[in-house]
Amino acid sequence: MSVSADWIVPDWPAPPRVRALITTRPGGASRGPYASFNLGARVGDDPQAVRRNRDILRRSLPADPVWMRQVHGTRIIEADPQVMDEEADGAVAHAPGRVCAVLTADCLPVLLADAGGTAVGIAHAGWRGMAAGVIESAVRAMAVPGASLVAYLGPAIGAAVYEVGPEVREALAADDQALLAFAPRPGGKFLADLGVLARRRLERAGVNRIFGGTLCTYSDSRRFYSYRRDGMTGRMASLIWLE
Which range of residues forms the domain containing residue 141? 18-156+199-242
**What pLDDT is attached to residue 117?**
96
Q: Structural domain tally of the chain?
A: 1
Q: Is residue 168 part of a domain?
A: no
Q: In which residue ranges of the chain is pLDDT below 50?
A: none
Q: What angle do CA 163, 10, 25 make, to 5 degrees?
A: 60
Q: Is residue 96 part of a domain?
A: yes
Write out pLDDT tens, residues 32-81: 999 999 999 999 999 999 999 999 999 999 999 999 999 999 999 999 98
pTM of the predicted model as reported, rounded to 2 decimal places: 0.97
Q: Is residue 24 part of a domain?
A: yes
Write out pLDDT tens, residues 175-188: 778 899 999 999 99
User: Does a cis peptide bond (omega within 30 degrees of 0) precede residue 36?
Assistant: yes
Q: What is the CATH number of the domain that holds 73?
A: 3.60.140.10
Q: Is residue 204 part of a domain?
A: yes
Q: Is residue 41 part of a domain?
A: yes
Q: Is residue 54 part of a domain?
A: yes
Q: Is residue 2 part of a domain?
A: no
**What pLDDT is attached to residue 173?**
85
Phi-psi category of 151—alpha, beta or left, where left has phi over 0 and alpha has psi -120 to 50? beta
Residues 106 and 89 sit within 8 Å (Cβ to Cβ):
no
- In angstroms, the CA 141 to CA 184 distance is 35
